[in-house]
Amino acid sequence: MFNRTDDKITSSQAAVFLTNTLLGAGILTLPRNVTQAMQTPDAWITILLGGAAMLGIVLLMVKLCLQFPGQTVFQYAGKIIGKFPGKLVGMLLILYFIVVAGFEIRTLAEVTTFFLLEGTPSEAIVLPFIWAGVYLVLGGINSIARVFQIVLPISILVLLVSFGVSLRLFDINHLRPVLGSGFLPILRGMKTAILIYAGCEVILTLTAFLQEPKQAVKAMLGGIAIPIFLYLLTVVFVIGCLSVDSVVTSTWPTIDLVRSFEITGFFIERLEFPFMVIWLMQMFCNFSSFFFQASLGISQIFNVRLKPVIFLLAPAIFIATMLPRSLQDVFTLGDSIGYIGLGMFFLLPLLLTLIWMIRKKGTKGHA
């Protein structure tokens, strides 16, 4: 398998691919992160506003990609800003994808150790998942998309069922007063609300694999709309059931909500274990997406075969995974990734689009 984009996917697969890339560890900590930044129950407003901003960014990314059919950002960046700067941008993206892949698999290991396999060394959890990722990514984007199509509906179903049975704990007063402290807390929380969409950068490569590029806008907007809806639902239910004070002091507030009730007489009385197992699969999908992006980038920038790159990248991801020494370090790394991602999906497409428009206009004027 070479570094071309011959392995095509449908628009629905592309939407699922983007959704799976965005839905990872963030949903387990999002209510705490946003509420800590705001100290008010208005986090749901912030999520909506952040989501609206992301729709605009996604549209910009897709429009840029459509100017270069069948090419990823690793290939067309050099045509816009020059060969060397284009490779430099590509290498920064690859480094970012490697760090995010390591973060996701480490968070997966932390959740597993904390709730399921207490006392198990992180390495013993991390290594099997990385090798499973290698196996999946070797199959190419079509194989990855097919796995994502299986996992995503199950993840959404388990999440919705968990929220549905938690309705008896829901108290609308936990979400009041609306805008009780004005708009200033909303602005403080916007940063955190936008950071959870780190991963949108995959659009810069994903569009090249579409069977029908004309469906790209529809596919990508659909792919971002699902996470916006699920993030909004998560914040509303977690804060509505647990209250602002409880959410702020919880490490994994979404899991704490699922652990806080039992369904008497149901064949599964406690939903936390199926929820965690399914969400570990979701986090693995998230990791696999970034693993694929990093492998593809190296393959295309250096014009080498993809398969050897995947094997060589596995140790690099393992090192990135084991760099944080504690759970606090993992959360700090997550915040740093968010800030870098903010630059990646705000500045990168904006700058590339502006430079491309200027060069295109200059070429027309010269002609």
pLDDT in tens, 56-115: 888 988 988 898 888 998 988 888 888 888 899 899 889 989 988 888 888 888 888 877
Token code pair at residue 119: 């006392």
In this predicted structure, what is the pLDDT of residue 1?
44
In this predicted structure, what is the pLDDT of residue 364?
59
Please give the CATH number for the structural domain made up of 11-356.
1.20.1740.10
**For range 7-33, the mean pLDDT:** 88
Residue 277 — very low, low, confident or very high, per pLDDT cuts 50/70/90? confident
Residues 6+ apart with CB under 8 A from 139: none
Q: Locate tokens 């941008």: which residue? A: 89
The answer to whether residue 268 scores a pLDDT higher than 60 is no
Residue 332 — very low, low, confident or very high, per pLDDT cuts 50/70/90? confident
The answer to whether residue 343 scores a pLDDT higher than 50 is yes
Q: Rounded to 5 degrees, what angle do the CA atoms 120, 126, 129 make?
A: 125
CA–chain centroid gap for 191, Å, is: 16
Residue 132 — very low, low, confident or very high, per pLDDT cuts 50/70/90? very high
Higher pLDDT, 331 or 248: 248
Mean pLDDT lowest for which of 10-14, 128-132, 165-169, 221-225?
165-169
Q: What percent of the chain has pLDDT over 90?
A: 29
Angstrom distance (rounded) from CA 18 to CA 90: 20
Average pLDDT, the chain: 85
Q: What are phi and psi of 142, to 5 degrees?
A: -65, -45
What's the 3-state SS for the chain?
A: CCCCCCCCECHHHHHHHHHHHHCCCHHHHHHHHHHHHHCCCCHHHHHHHHHHHHHHHHHHHHHHHCCCCCCCHHHHHHHHHCHHHHHHHHHHHHHHHHHHHHHHHHHHHHHHHHHCCCCCCHHHHHHHHHHHHHHHHHCHHHHHHHHHHHHHHHHHHHHHHHHHHHHHHCCHHHHCCCCCCCCHHHHHHHHHHHHCCCCHHHHHHHHHHECCHHHHHHHHHHHHHHHHHHHHHHHHHHHHHHCHHHHHCCCCHHHHHHHCCCCCCCCCCCCHHHHHHHHHHHHHHHHHHHHHHHHHHHHHHCCCCHHHHHHHHHHHHHHHHHCCCCHHHHHHHHHHHHHHHHHHHHHHHHHHHHHHHHHHHHHHHHC
Residue 366 — very low, low, confident or very high, per pLDDT cuts 50/70/90? low
Q: Rounded to 5 degrees, what angle do the CA atoms 177, 179, 184 make?
A: 140
The answer to whether residue 359 scores a pLDDT higher than 70 is yes
In this predicted structure, what is the pLDDT of residue 151?
92
In this predicted structure, what is the pLDDT of residue 237?
92
**For range 302-327, the mean pLDDT:** 89
pLDDT in tens, 22-39: 887 778 888 888 888 888
Residue 217 — very low, low, confident or very high, per pLDDT cuts 50/70/90? very high
At residue 82, what is the residue type?
A: G
Mean pLDDT lowest for which of 194-208, 221-235, 254-268?
254-268
The answer to whether residue 195 scores a pLDDT higher than 80 is no
Q: What percent of the chain has pLDDT over 70?
A: 93
Look at residues 48, 15, 98, 17 and name the one whose alpha carbon lies nearest to residue 337.
98
Angstrom distance (rounded) from CA 307 to CA 83: 25
In this predicted structure, what is the pLDDT of residue 365?
54
* Backbone conformation region of residue 293, classed left if phi is above 0, alpha if psi is from -120 to 50, else beta: alpha
